[in-house]
Structure formats: structure tokens, C-alpha cells
Amino acid sequence: MDEPAGPDVLHGSVLRAVPTAPADFDTIFRVEFPRVARTVHHIVGDRRQADEVTQDAFLELLRHWPKVSTYERPDLWVRRVAIRKAQRERHRSWRRGELERVTVEPAAAEPSTPAPEVLRAVRELGPKQRAIVVLFYFEDRPMTEIAEIVGCSESTGWSQLHNARKRLAETLGEEVTDDVR
């Protein structure tokens, strides 16, 4: 007689800690994990750390799934949690004085990855500005979504983006224009 799957039962070749994750959660995880991890990577600057932060955010999503699954966009909830965790982690690293500059090796670069000097300049921004720049330019998200994810008003998001663009232009030695888009 087969026993019901417990928390430590092997399914195929994967040990599942949570035996019955809802199907919708599985779909969101498969589709959104790589995207969220990429965003978090741009914020924290370290791929291993980005994966850990993203995993923590998805664990939070699973813990809160009964409530979050009723939201219109649970994917935005997990992205917001991941970005906040990434901002806290980045701030902790900064406070400890252990910032590491990570350069993207050409073989590992994705076609849509900005030039290394742009990534370095973005990483020098404060956590909130960095998140807004990554979401706006790297993920091409509308400011209404960005404001919701980051937890600010839309006008504050635009203001933060404007200030971030000025700092990036100064860092990169380029001219600042008023056109944000």
C-alpha cells in the first residue's frame, strides 16, 4: 500500500519540502523566479545572493499563498517582497563595508544586459533608486507597477527615477536630458 507523500518524500529526483504546493503557485514560481532573480541580481550585484533572496521571497509567497492567491497579481506581491529583501540585504552589505563589485563576464552576459560600466553605475545608486531604475529600464515596467512594488507613490517614483538618471549621467559622464522615457 502506498503511503501519502510526506514532507521528506522523494518525487522523481527532487526532495520536496512542501508536498502539495498549489498548481497556481507552481506556475508563478516557474515563470517568475528567473525574472525576479534577475531583478534582485541587479539590485544586490551578486548572483548567489540574488538567488538566496529570491528563494526567501518565494518561501514567503508560499507561506502566505492562501491570502496572496486571492490578489489580482500575486506575481507583483512576490516581486515587491524580493525587492524589499534585496534592498535590506544591499543596505546591510553597505553598512558592513563589504561591498563587492561584480563584473559581468562576456560569456555570462545576456543579450539584454547593459554594458558593465552602466551596471556598475546603477549599483552605486541607493537601494530605492536602484530598484526603480532596474524595474523601469531593465524590466520595462510602467511606473504605476513600480510604485506599487517599491512601496511609494507614483510621483515619488518619477522623482526618484529623475534623480537617479542625473546621478547616472554624472557617473557615466553623459549629458542629462529631461526625457525620462
Whether residue 1 is contained in a domain is answered as no
The CATH number assigned to the domain holding 126 equals: 1.20.140.160
Whether residue 8 is contained in a domain is answered as no
Report the alpha-carbon distance of residue 38 to residue 118 in Å, rounded. 16
Cell 534623480 -> residue: 163
Sequence-distant contacts of 48-56: CB under 8 A, at least 24 apart: 49/89, 50/86, 53/82, 53/85, 53/86, 53/89, 54/82, 56/82, 56/85
pLDDT digits (tens, 9 = 90+) for 143-166: 988 988 889 999 999 999 999 888
Mean pLDDT (10-residue bins), the chain, 181 residues: 39 42 82 93 90 94 92 92 88 57 44 75 87 87 89 91 88 70 53
Whether residue 3 is contained in a domain is answered as no
- Amino acid, res. 61: L
By residue range, what is the domain housing residue 67?
21-172
Whether residue 5 is contained in a domain is answered as no
Whether residue 29 is contained in a domain is answered as yes
Is the full-model pTM beyond 0.75?
no
Q: Tally the domains of the chain.
A: 1
